[in-house]
Copies of this chain bind each other. A is one copy, B any other.
Protein backbone atom coordinates (compact mmCIF):
# COMPACT_ATOMS: atom_id res chain seq x y z
CA UNK A 1 0.00 0.00 0.00
CA UNK A 2 1.31 3.40 -0.95
CA UNK A 3 0.28 6.50 0.97
CA UNK A 4 0.58 9.85 -0.75
CA UNK A 5 -0.95 13.19 0.14
CA UNK A 6 -3.89 11.77 1.98
CA UNK A 7 -4.66 9.08 -0.52
CA UNK A 8 -4.39 5.33 -0.53
CA UNK A 9 -3.18 4.80 -4.07
CA UNK A 10 -4.88 1.82 -5.54
CA UNK A 11 -5.05 2.73 -9.23
CA UNK A 12 -4.09 -0.79 -10.14
CA UNK A 13 -7.24 -1.86 -8.38
CA UNK A 14 -9.20 0.49 -10.56
CA UNK A 15 -9.72 3.16 -7.96
CA UNK A 16 -7.99 5.93 -6.11
CA UNK A 17 -9.30 5.97 -2.62
CA UNK A 18 -9.17 9.03 -0.45
CA UNK A 19 -7.62 8.10 2.87
CA UNK A 20 -10.78 9.02 4.70
CA UNK A 21 -11.45 6.99 7.72
CA UNK A 22 -14.46 5.01 8.70
CA UNK A 23 -15.79 7.08 11.60
CA UNK A 24 -17.59 5.13 14.27
CA UNK A 25 -21.18 6.35 14.46
CA UNK A 26 -22.13 8.45 17.47
CA UNK A 27 -25.83 8.88 18.15
CA UNK A 28 -27.02 12.08 19.81
CA UNK A 29 -30.61 12.20 21.03
CA UNK A 30 -32.85 14.39 18.81
CA UNK A 31 -30.64 14.07 15.76
CA UNK A 32 -32.46 15.06 12.61
CA UNK A 33 -32.83 12.60 9.78
CA UNK A 34 -30.11 14.30 7.78
CA UNK A 35 -27.73 14.43 10.72
CA UNK A 36 -28.24 10.69 11.07
CA UNK A 37 -27.65 10.08 7.36
CA UNK A 38 -24.47 12.16 7.47
CA UNK A 39 -23.20 10.06 10.38
CA UNK A 40 -23.93 6.96 8.28
CA UNK A 41 -22.00 8.59 5.47
CA UNK A 42 -18.94 9.17 7.64
CA UNK A 43 -19.10 5.52 8.66
CA UNK A 44 -19.56 5.00 4.93
CA UNK A 45 -19.80 1.23 4.72
CA UNK A 46 -22.19 -1.31 3.28
CA UNK A 47 -25.78 -0.17 2.68
CA UNK A 48 -25.63 2.58 5.27
CA UNK A 49 -22.82 4.15 3.29
CA UNK A 50 -24.72 3.56 0.07
CA UNK A 51 -27.77 5.30 1.49
CA UNK A 52 -25.69 8.36 2.38
CA UNK A 53 -24.31 8.44 -1.17
CA UNK A 54 -27.85 8.03 -2.51
CA UNK A 55 -28.85 11.16 -0.60
CA UNK A 56 -25.96 13.09 -2.14
CA UNK A 57 -26.96 11.95 -5.62
CA UNK A 58 -30.65 12.64 -5.13
CA UNK A 59 -29.85 16.07 -3.69
CA UNK A 60 -27.67 16.90 -6.72
CA UNK A 61 -30.40 15.74 -9.08
CA UNK A 62 -33.06 17.83 -7.35
CA UNK A 63 -30.88 20.94 -7.14
CA UNK A 64 -30.02 20.91 -10.86
CA UNK A 65 -32.61 23.14 -12.51
CA UNK A 66 -31.95 21.64 -15.93
CA UNK A 67 -32.46 18.07 -14.84
CA UNK A 68 -35.46 16.03 -15.88
CA UNK A 69 -36.34 13.79 -12.92
CA UNK A 70 -37.88 10.38 -13.48
CA UNK A 71 -39.36 8.43 -10.60
CA UNK A 72 -40.06 4.68 -10.80
CA UNK A 73 -42.43 3.20 -8.24
CA UNK A 74 -42.75 -0.58 -8.08
CA UNK A 75 -43.53 -2.89 -5.16
CA UNK A 76 -46.57 -2.49 -2.90
CA UNK A 77 -45.54 0.98 -1.81
CA UNK A 78 -48.97 2.59 -1.58
CA UNK A 79 -50.49 -0.11 0.66
CA UNK A 80 -47.37 0.33 2.81
CA UNK A 81 -47.95 4.04 3.26
CA UNK A 82 -45.17 5.27 0.98
CA UNK A 83 -47.58 6.86 -1.52
CA UNK A 84 -47.73 9.97 0.63
CA UNK A 85 -44.04 10.58 0.03
CA UNK A 86 -44.45 10.25 -3.71
CA UNK A 87 -47.47 12.56 -3.83
CA UNK A 88 -45.55 15.09 -1.77
CA UNK A 89 -42.48 14.93 -4.03
CA UNK A 90 -44.74 15.59 -7.02
CA UNK A 91 -46.36 18.49 -5.21
CA UNK A 92 -42.99 20.02 -4.38
CA UNK A 93 -41.99 19.82 -8.06
CA UNK A 94 -39.36 17.11 -7.61
CA UNK A 95 -40.83 14.57 -10.04
CA UNK A 96 -41.23 15.36 -13.74
CA UNK A 97 -42.25 11.91 -14.96
CA UNK A 98 -43.68 9.09 -12.87
CA UNK A 99 -43.72 5.44 -13.96
CA UNK A 100 -45.55 3.01 -11.74
CA UNK A 101 -47.46 -0.25 -11.64
CA UNK A 102 -51.15 -0.91 -11.91
CA UNK A 103 -51.18 -2.15 -8.34
CA UNK A 104 -49.79 1.04 -6.83
CA UNK A 105 -52.16 3.21 -8.82
CA UNK A 106 -55.18 1.07 -7.97
CA UNK A 107 -54.37 1.29 -4.27
CA UNK A 108 -53.77 5.03 -4.55
CA UNK A 109 -57.19 5.36 -6.16
CA UNK A 110 -58.76 3.24 -3.42
CA UNK A 111 -57.37 5.56 -0.76
CA UNK A 112 -58.40 8.65 -2.74
CA UNK A 113 -61.96 7.27 -2.78
CA UNK A 114 -61.97 7.19 1.03
CA UNK A 115 -61.22 3.52 1.65
CA UNK A 116 -58.31 2.47 3.83
CA UNK A 117 -55.63 -0.13 4.20
CA UNK A 118 -55.28 -1.28 7.78
CA UNK A 119 -52.54 -2.77 9.89
CA UNK A 120 -52.79 -6.55 9.82
CA UNK A 121 -50.36 -9.37 10.29
CA UNK A 122 -48.40 -11.68 8.05
CA UNK A 123 -48.93 -14.64 10.39
CA UNK A 124 -52.51 -15.72 9.97
CA UNK A 125 -54.80 -18.06 8.07
CA UNK A 126 -55.40 -16.75 4.59
CA UNK A 127 -58.34 -19.07 4.17
CA UNK A 128 -60.00 -17.41 7.17
CA UNK A 129 -59.18 -14.01 5.76
CA UNK A 130 -60.85 -15.05 2.51
CA UNK A 131 -63.97 -16.06 4.44
CA UNK A 132 -63.96 -12.67 6.12
CA UNK A 133 -63.47 -10.88 2.80
CA UNK A 134 -60.14 -9.42 3.73
CA UNK A 135 -57.30 -9.29 1.22
CA UNK A 136 -53.77 -9.46 2.51
CA UNK A 137 -50.63 -7.71 1.28
CA UNK A 138 -47.97 -9.13 3.60
CA UNK A 139 -48.97 -7.49 6.92
CA UNK A 140 -51.48 -5.02 5.46
CA UNK A 141 -55.18 -5.85 5.15
CA UNK A 142 -57.73 -4.42 2.75
CA UNK A 143 -61.42 -5.21 2.95
CA UNK A 144 -63.23 -6.43 -0.15
CA UNK A 145 -65.68 -3.54 0.01
CA UNK A 146 -62.91 -1.24 -1.20
CA UNK A 147 -63.21 -2.98 -4.54
CA UNK A 148 -66.96 -2.37 -4.63
CA UNK A 149 -66.33 1.34 -4.15
CA UNK A 150 -63.64 1.18 -6.82
CA UNK A 151 -65.96 -0.57 -9.27
CA UNK A 152 -68.63 2.08 -8.87
CA UNK A 153 -66.18 4.87 -9.48
CA UNK A 154 -64.50 3.28 -12.47
CA UNK A 155 -67.63 2.15 -14.25
CA UNK A 156 -69.02 5.66 -13.96
CA UNK A 157 -65.73 7.14 -15.09
CA UNK A 158 -65.41 4.89 -18.13
CA UNK A 159 -68.99 5.67 -19.09
CA UNK A 160 -68.09 9.34 -19.40
CA UNK A 161 -65.16 8.73 -21.78
CA UNK A 162 -65.72 9.88 -25.35
CA UNK A 163 -64.45 6.67 -26.93
CA UNK A 164 -64.17 8.00 -30.46
CA UNK A 165 -60.42 7.56 -30.70
CA UNK A 166 -57.71 5.53 -28.93
CA UNK A 167 -56.66 6.87 -25.58
CA UNK A 168 -53.21 6.75 -24.10
CA UNK A 169 -52.64 5.13 -20.72
CA UNK A 170 -51.28 8.35 -19.27
CA UNK A 171 -54.23 10.27 -20.67
CA UNK A 172 -56.62 7.87 -19.00
CA UNK A 173 -54.76 8.18 -15.68
CA UNK A 174 -54.70 11.98 -15.90
CA UNK A 175 -58.46 12.02 -16.29
CA UNK A 176 -58.85 9.73 -13.28
CA UNK A 177 -56.55 11.97 -11.28
CA UNK A 178 -58.48 15.11 -12.19
CA UNK A 179 -61.54 13.70 -10.41
CA UNK A 180 -59.68 13.07 -7.14
CA UNK A 181 -58.45 15.43 -4.48
CA UNK A 182 -55.53 13.65 -2.84
CA UNK A 183 -52.97 10.98 -3.50
CA UNK A 184 -50.54 10.32 -6.30
CA UNK A 185 -52.92 10.44 -9.24
CA UNK A 186 -54.66 13.56 -7.94
CA UNK A 187 -51.41 15.41 -7.31
CA UNK A 188 -49.91 14.34 -10.63
CA UNK A 189 -53.00 15.57 -12.46
CA UNK A 190 -52.90 18.87 -10.59
CA UNK A 191 -49.22 19.38 -11.35
CA UNK A 192 -49.49 18.09 -14.94
CA UNK A 193 -46.97 15.35 -14.28
CA UNK A 194 -47.48 12.41 -16.66
CA UNK A 195 -48.01 9.02 -15.03
CA UNK A 196 -46.97 6.07 -17.16
CA UNK A 197 -48.10 2.56 -16.41
CA UNK A 198 -47.08 0.21 -19.21
CA UNK A 199 -48.77 -2.88 -17.77
CA UNK A 200 -51.99 -1.24 -16.65
CA UNK A 201 -54.02 -4.25 -17.77
CA UNK A 202 -52.17 -6.17 -15.06
CA UNK A 203 -54.26 -4.73 -12.21
CA UNK A 204 -57.79 -4.44 -10.90
CA UNK A 205 -57.87 -1.20 -12.88
CA UNK A 206 -57.39 -3.33 -15.96
CA UNK A 207 -60.01 -5.86 -14.95
CA UNK A 208 -62.56 -3.07 -14.45
CA UNK A 209 -61.69 -1.57 -17.79
CA UNK A 210 -62.27 -4.90 -19.39
CA UNK A 211 -65.66 -5.26 -17.66
CA UNK A 212 -66.68 -1.91 -19.06
CA UNK A 213 -65.35 -2.57 -22.53
CA UNK A 214 -67.69 -5.53 -22.91
CA UNK A 215 -70.55 -3.11 -23.33
CA UNK A 216 -68.79 -0.27 -25.15
CA UNK A 217 -65.32 -0.84 -26.57
CA UNK A 218 -62.83 1.94 -26.00
CA UNK A 219 -59.35 1.32 -27.32
CA UNK A 220 -56.35 2.21 -25.19
CA UNK A 221 -53.23 2.33 -27.32
CA UNK A 222 -50.48 0.28 -25.65
CA UNK A 223 -47.81 2.31 -27.44
CA UNK A 224 -49.60 5.61 -27.27
CA UNK A 225 -47.33 7.06 -24.60
CA UNK A 226 -44.06 6.24 -26.30
CA UNK A 227 -43.80 9.37 -28.40
CA UNK A 228 -44.25 11.84 -25.56
CA UNK A 229 -41.88 9.87 -23.36
CA UNK A 230 -39.13 9.64 -25.93
CA UNK A 231 -39.54 13.29 -26.88
CA UNK A 232 -39.00 14.08 -23.23
CA UNK A 233 -35.88 11.90 -23.16
CA UNK A 234 -34.49 13.62 -26.27
CA UNK A 235 -35.26 17.02 -24.88
CA UNK A 236 -33.68 16.44 -21.49
CA UNK A 237 -30.47 18.38 -21.00
CA UNK A 238 -29.62 16.08 -18.12
CA UNK A 239 -31.72 13.30 -16.64
CA UNK A 240 -31.91 11.58 -13.29
CA UNK A 241 -33.78 8.51 -12.10
CA UNK A 242 -34.99 7.59 -8.64
CA UNK A 243 -36.03 3.94 -8.74
CA UNK A 244 -38.03 2.43 -5.91
CA UNK A 245 -38.08 -1.30 -6.64
CA UNK A 246 -37.38 -2.70 -10.06
CA UNK A 247 -39.84 -4.31 -12.43
CA UNK A 248 -41.47 -2.54 -15.33
CA UNK A 249 -41.01 1.01 -13.96
CA UNK A 250 -37.24 0.61 -13.72
CA UNK A 251 -36.88 -0.91 -17.15
CA UNK A 252 -39.28 1.51 -18.81
CA UNK A 253 -37.43 4.51 -17.40
CA UNK A 254 -33.92 3.28 -18.19
CA UNK A 255 -34.75 2.10 -21.71
CA UNK A 256 -36.15 5.51 -22.52
CA UNK A 257 -32.59 6.75 -23.02
CA UNK A 258 -31.61 3.89 -25.35
CA UNK A 259 -32.84 5.74 -28.41
CA UNK A 260 -31.13 8.99 -27.50
CA UNK A 261 -27.43 9.82 -27.77
CA UNK A 262 -27.22 10.42 -24.03
CA UNK A 263 -27.94 8.51 -20.82
CA UNK A 264 -28.94 9.16 -17.26
CA UNK A 265 -26.50 11.30 -15.29
CA UNK A 266 -27.83 10.33 -11.87
CA UNK A 267 -29.55 7.18 -10.71
CA UNK A 268 -30.54 5.86 -7.31
CA UNK A 269 -32.04 2.43 -6.84
CA UNK A 270 -33.72 1.23 -3.64
CA UNK A 271 -34.24 -2.49 -4.02
CA UNK A 272 -34.37 -5.77 -2.14
CA UNK A 273 -33.33 -7.85 -5.16
CA UNK A 274 -29.78 -9.02 -5.73
CA UNK A 275 -27.81 -9.09 -9.00
CA UNK A 276 -26.81 -12.75 -9.02
CA UNK A 277 -30.30 -13.93 -10.01
CA UNK A 278 -29.82 -12.09 -13.28
CA UNK A 279 -33.16 -10.27 -13.30
CA UNK A 280 -33.50 -6.62 -14.19
CA UNK A 281 -34.90 -5.69 -10.79
CA UNK A 282 -31.68 -6.70 -9.07
CA UNK A 283 -29.30 -5.64 -11.83
CA UNK A 284 -26.65 -3.16 -10.78
CA UNK A 285 -26.60 0.35 -12.17
CA UNK A 286 -23.14 -0.46 -13.52
CA UNK A 287 -24.71 -3.13 -15.72
CA UNK A 288 -26.93 -0.34 -17.09
CA UNK A 289 -23.78 1.49 -18.22
CA UNK A 290 -22.90 -1.35 -20.58
CA UNK A 291 -26.23 -0.73 -22.31
CA UNK A 292 -25.69 3.01 -22.41
CA UNK A 293 -28.65 3.66 -20.12
CA UNK A 294 -26.36 5.45 -17.70
CA UNK A 295 -23.51 7.58 -18.99
CA UNK A 296 -19.96 6.46 -18.29
CA UNK A 297 -19.62 9.32 -15.80
CA UNK A 298 -23.04 8.99 -14.21
CA UNK A 299 -23.34 8.91 -10.45
CA UNK A 300 -25.29 5.84 -9.51
CA UNK A 301 -25.84 3.88 -6.34
CA UNK A 302 -27.97 0.95 -5.24
CA UNK A 303 -29.21 0.66 -1.68
CA UNK A 304 -30.25 -2.90 -0.86
CA UNK A 305 -33.08 -3.08 1.63
CA UNK A 306 -36.75 -2.43 2.15
CA UNK A 307 -37.89 0.89 0.71
CA UNK A 308 -40.33 1.30 3.61
CA UNK A 309 -37.18 2.16 5.57
CA UNK A 310 -34.83 3.61 2.98
CA UNK A 311 -37.29 5.85 1.11
CA UNK A 312 -38.51 7.82 4.16
CA UNK A 313 -34.97 8.22 5.46
CA UNK A 314 -33.61 9.32 2.09
CA UNK A 315 -36.47 11.74 1.48
CA UNK A 316 -36.27 13.25 4.95
CA UNK A 317 -32.54 13.78 4.56
CA UNK A 318 -32.76 15.39 1.14
CA UNK A 319 -35.76 17.61 1.91
CA UNK A 320 -33.93 18.80 5.01
CA UNK A 321 -30.91 19.71 2.90
CA UNK A 322 -33.05 21.62 0.41
CA UNK A 323 -34.84 23.34 3.28
CA UNK A 324 -31.53 24.51 4.70
CA UNK A 325 -30.91 26.12 1.32
The answer to whether A30 has its CB under 8 Å from any CB of chain B is yes
Q: Which of A230, A315, A316 has the largest number of chain B CB atoms within 10 A?
A: A316
Give 15 pairs: A residue, B residue, CB < 8 Å, sorted on A. Answer: A24-B85, A28-B319, A30-B320, A31-B320, A43-B81, A46-B278, A47-B306, A130-B289, A207-B255, A209-B223, A213-B223, A245-B279, A247-B248, A273-B273, A277-B307
Contacts of A287 in B (CB 8 A): 126, 136-138
Interface flags, A60-80, vs B, CB<8A=1, else 0: 000000000000001110111
Known: A29-B323, A255-B204. A117 touches B21 (CB 8 A): yes
Among B28, B201, B309, contact of A225 (Cβ-Cβ < 8 Å): B201
A148 at the interface (CB under 8 A from B): no
Residues of chain A at interface, number, CB under 8 A: 155
- Which of B45, B79, B222, B316 lies in contact with A31, CB distance below 8 A? B316
Contact A47 B207 (CB under 8 A): no
Task: Type the 1/0 row for A257-284, where 1 means its CB is closer than 8 Å to any CB of B.
Answer: 0110000000000001111111111110
Q: A161 interface residue, CB < 8 Å from B? A: no
**A215: CB under 8 A from chain B?**
no
Asked if A279 contacts B76 (CB within 8 A), the reply is: yes
**Residue in chain B with minimal CB distance to A214:** B227
Instruction: Report A17 CB to chain B, min CB distance, Å.
Output: 5
* B contact residues around A166 at 8 Å (CB): 166, 219, 221
Docked-complex contact B111 and A12, CB < 8 angstroms: no
Q: Which residue of B lies closest to A286 (CB)?
A: B126
A82 CB within 8 Å of chain B? yes
Q: Are A49 and B119 in contact (CB under 8 A)?
A: yes
Q: Kindly state whether residue A175 has any CB partner on chain B within 8 Å.
A: no
Give, as a whole number of angstroms, the nearest-CB distance from A165 to chain B. 9
8 Å CB interface, A300-318 against B: 303-310, 312-313, 315-316
Interface presence of A42 (CB below 8 A): yes
Q: Is A20 an interface residue (CB 8 A)?
A: yes
If A22-B118, A75-B277, A79-B22 touch, whether A134 touches B201 (CB-CB below 8 Å) is no
A223 and B210 within 8 A (CB): yes
Other A-B pairs beyond A10-B134, A48-B312, A207-B226, 11, CB < 8 Å = A15-B120, A15-B123, A18-B119, A21-B119, A27-B88, A29-B316, A42-B81, A43-B308, A46-B80, A210-B223, A276-B306
Question: Which residue of chain B lies nearest to A222 when distances are taken between CB atoms in the complex?
Answer: B222
Q: Are the C-beta atoms of A123 and B222 separated by less than 8 Å? A: no
- Complexed CA–CA distance, A291 and B143 (Å): 10
Contact of A202 among B10, B199, B312 (CB under 8 A): B199
